[in-house]
Structure 1
Amino acid sequence: MHTDHAARGRTVRVGITAVASCLPESAVTSRRLQEHITAASGLSLPARTLERVTGIVSRRAVGEGEYASTLAVRAARTALTRAALTPYDVDLLVFASATRDMVEPATAHVVQAELGSRAHALDVTNACNSFVNGIDLARSMIVAGRARKALVVTGETPSRAVRYAPSGAQQLRDGFAGYTFGDAGAAVVLEGVERGGILDVDTETHSEHWAVGGIFGGGSRHPRGDEHTYFRGDGTELREVFEKVGTSVLDRMRERTGLDWTDFRHILVHQVTVPYLERFVELTGIPRERLVVTVPELGNLASATLGVQLDRVHGGLRSGDRVLFVGLGGGVSIMTMVWEKA
């Protein structure tokens, strides 16, 4: 599935007009995390195992009384200020995240209650592609005339789903991919623009791999019990699945739009570990200097990854600069989005 408004001659263009992100104050180094795991479990790991295997030096973690909605609200307030908008100017609020405050109601309502707006509010969840999915949904609603100004937010607190005291080597292996996680929030404002905007969106889904990794509790399969509230997944298997799926969605985007890697000012890619990012660059041929590398410093930020990266470069963008979003999410799904700054 793809959308190319320029090619179809549509008059409605939707762009990102403000960006913000939020990082918790507390930083947790891989060395400190490994010390905590070994002390709690009694297992012995070679020195700096987490850092050597993942390339992650540190990550951020929420503190007591901070939730997914907390990070989303902080990012949202900054984004609205940067867009010179009030909460009441927004008529669509999408909370798009792999994390939520609770099963029910939608965390979007928690965010909206804090902001004080009356927008149509809903959640979108699709693992690490949630935020890009949320942006695409908001864009579609504006194109359809259902909204004029949309606020898309994410708040990721995957650190709350990590098993810090594994009972043995098997639990350590099952939860090892969770040790890459870091917490963060992000927000974007979307509205109609005269030029540029979101030019192209494409998705590819391979749902036969849904069981490769995830947090399997809280739904009708496992409604109760701590065992299913921890992230479980084999990092090597996840990487193999994405390599098997290949780069076809990226190839289609380039063929359809006529754009090459050098036509993008920045290429934002979901980042799990440093070795995985290096393998991604090797498979795609994306020039490393186009990337915004965040994983060594912040870890795997789930769906907040691309929002944090965009916030870091947004201030330096000029009108006409293009940015490519590449999302990789459990389930599994791959997404691309081409955005040009108005």
Structure 2
Amino acid sequence: MTLRAVVKGVGHYLPARVVPNSELETLVETSDEWIKSRSGIERRHFAAEGETTSDLGAHAARAALENAGIEASTIDAIIVATSTADLTFPSAATMVQAKIGAGGFAFDVQAVCAGFVFALTTANALILSGQARRVLVIGAETFSKLMDWKDRTTCVLFGDGAGALVLEAEEGTGASTDRGILSADLHSDGQFKDLLYVDGGVSTGTTGHLRMQGKEVFRHAVEKLASTAHAALEKAGLTSGDVDWIVPHQANIRIIEGTAKKMQLPMEQVVVTVQDHGNTSAASIPLALSVGVQRGQIKRGDLLVTEAIGGGLAWGSVVLRW
């Protein structure tokens, strides 16, 4: 028998404040048409004053635990993927742990927009090694707090939110028909740091703002995302033809469409939420998974590919059967 990390529950949380493109027209020189044509984004959510990343993560965690029918006290580990933790330390994960009343151990993973894929892979490793039986994996971000509201090329793209999965160890047969995480593929290349970064931190003594070379990031994104997805499928002994749903990082509709085309899959098999959430970085994949389940798109037994690329550059994918 083969041990698998199986999804037992999923949930998400979005701040109450919805910000349509029309509101951003009052802040920078832009338009609803310009934003939609270049990104597919129509609206996004912003955290309220005093609402933190760990607050969002805790709400999503509770929703996932309720969906799974599992008590927080039975969780062995919490991993939060985020680039916008409340404080430099302690981790947002320990703050979520306290808010939901969980035990075990908790830590953050930081791989920017690819963070949830890295966190999911880490959770899988903890389960397969026997270090944990139940792991709560959360992507949570408040990117609105990193925006330069004078930079129209970036401030219109991002939003806040959180999504969460509960993973649990189960015995499988070792075949690709098993439920759970079947394979993963991770990469990074630090020489591309200047393409997407925040110009703040302990070296500057400031929080800083997000900086991005959009055209260059786009150029890398489609090729690298399709490549990592194919690699993960090959590791699982599967092909694009076996895939029921791509659940991509929701950065830009053109990147999503380009990746699907390279994978030779129609957009009808892609879960798309970018129009409603904007780019929520590490939160975007678990948000899309939760929304996909709510919509009735993702069903038990479906084969999913999740893929993401973010600052670093860091990118990767996970193949899992729901």
Alignment TM-score, normalising by the size of structure 2: 0.90
User: Are 1:163 and 2:140 an aligned pair?
Assistant: no
Q: Specify the SS of the correspondent of 2:19.
A: strand
Matches within 5 A, 1:39-188: 45=30, 48-164=33-149, 166=150, 172=151, 176-188=153-165
Q: Percent identity?
A: 29
User: Are 1:194 and 2:171 an aligned pair?
Assistant: yes
| Alignment partners' CA distance in 2, 1:48 and 1:318 | 34
Quote the residue 1:302 is aligned against: 281
Shift of 1:77: 0.7
User: Are 1:328 and 2:319 an aligned pair?
Assistant: no
Q: Does the 8 Å CA contact 2:196/2:310 hold for their aligned counterparts?
A: no
Quote the residue 2:15 is aligned against: 24
Q: Deviations over 1:172-225 (max 9, x none)?
A: 3xx622420011101111111234211111112222112211213123x22x13
- Relative to structure 1, the CA distance from residue 251 to residue 261 in structure 2 (aligned partners, 3 Å threshold; closer, same or farther) is closer
Amino acid at match of 1:322: L
| Alignment partners' CA distance in 2, 1:246 and 1:143 | 26
Q: Does the 8 Å CA contact 2:260/2:270 hold for their aligned counterparts?
A: no
Number of equivalences? 314
Quote the residue 2:293 is aligned against: 314
Root mean square deviation, CA, Å: 2.0
Shift of 1:104: 1.1
Q: Deviations over 1:257-283 (max 9, x none)?
A: 342333222111112122332333333
Shift of 1:159: 0.9
Shift of 1:286: 2.6
Q: Does the 8 Å CA contact 1:156/1:185 hold for their aligned counterparts?
A: yes
Moved more, 282-291 or 206-215: 282-291
- Relative to structure 1, the CA distance from residue 73 to residue 214 in structure 2 (aligned partners, 3 Å threshold; closer, same or farther) is same
Q: Deviations over 1:66-96 (max 9, x none)?
A: 1111110001111111222221101111111
Quote the residue 1:275 is aligned against: 254
Shift of 1:163: 1.3
Quote the residue 1:15 is aligned against: 6
Amino acid at match of 1:29: P
| Alignment partners' CA distance in 2, 1:333 and 1:47 | 30
Q: Does the 8 Å CA contact 1:31/1:51 hold for their aligned counterparts?
A: no
- Relative to structure 1, the CA distance from residue 213 to residue 137 in structure 2 (aligned partners, 3 Å threshold; closer, same or farther) is same
User: Are 1:205 and 2:184 an aligned pair?
Assistant: no
| Alignment partners' CA distance in 2, 1:46 and 1:310 | 30
Matches within 5 A, 1:232-271: 232-243=211-222, 245=224, 247-271=226-250
Amino acid at match of 2:276: E
User: Are 1:286 and 2:269 an aligned pair?
Assistant: no
Quote the residue 1:7 is aligned against: none
Q: Does the 8 Å CA contact 1:68/1:154 hold for their aligned counterparts?
A: no
Q: Specify the SS of the correspondent of 2:45.
A: strand
Amino acid at match of 2:303: R
- Relative to structure 1, the CA distance from residue 286 to residue 149 in structure 2 (aligned partners, 3 Å threshold; closer, same or farther) is same
**Which consecutive residues of structure 2, in runs of 5 or more, have no partner in the other structure?**
173-178
Amino acid at match of 2:263: T
Quote the residue 2:176 is aligned against: none
Amino acid at match of 1:15: V
| Alignment partners' CA distance in 1, 2:103 and 2:59 | 18
| Alignment partners' CA distance in 1, 2:241 and 2:262 | 17
Q: Based on CA coordinates, which of the two structures has the bigger radius of gyration?
A: 1
- Relative to structure 1, the CA distance from residue 78 to residue 247 in structure 2 (aligned partners, 3 Å threshold; closer, same or farther) is closer
Q: Does the 8 Å CA contact 1:58/1:297 hold for their aligned counterparts?
A: yes
Q: Specify the SS of the correspondent of 1:194.
A: strand
Q: Does the 8 Å CA contact 1:72/1:155 hold for their aligned counterparts?
A: yes
Q: Deviations over 1:227-267 (max 9, x none)?
A: xx111112112112335647332332343334233322211
Alignment TM-score, normalising by the size of structure 1: 0.85
Q: Specify the SS of the correspondent of 2:304.
A: strand
| Alignment partners' CA distance in 2, 1:49 and 1:200 | 38
